[in-house]
Amino acid sequence: MNNSNAASINPISAYTLIFVSSLLAAVILYGLLSSTGIWESKGIQLGGAAAGFVIFFLLANRVFHSLQKLHTEQKNNNNQQRIDALE
């Protein structure tokens, strides 16, 4: 198996992991630790565990997309180096 493909993450798996970890974070923060929080955006207001879930989900999603972009750039750079070496 090619090493560049081995590092790829299936987006469905990534979103499933993000979703489950967001739920887990909401349960821990708002169930076990009794935290409070409010999230407001464009007329939507969420409080408590729902706010924690949305905030954690959005942050994790942003991190995933940043890592995915970095991986793609590195893969493209490696491919370009291989092309240059073959020329």
pLDDT at site 64: 87
Q: What is the DSSP string of 6-63?
A: HT---HHHHHHHHHHHHHHHHIIIIIIS----EEEETTEEEETHHHHHHHHHHHHHHH
pLDDT at site 39: 72
- Place 68 in a pLDDT band, splitting at 50, 70 and 90: confident
The most confident of 2-6, 9-13, 46-50, 67-71, by mean pLDDT? 67-71
Predicted TM-score (pTM) of this structure: 0.61
Range of the domain at 65: 3-86
Number of domains observed in the structure of the chain: 1
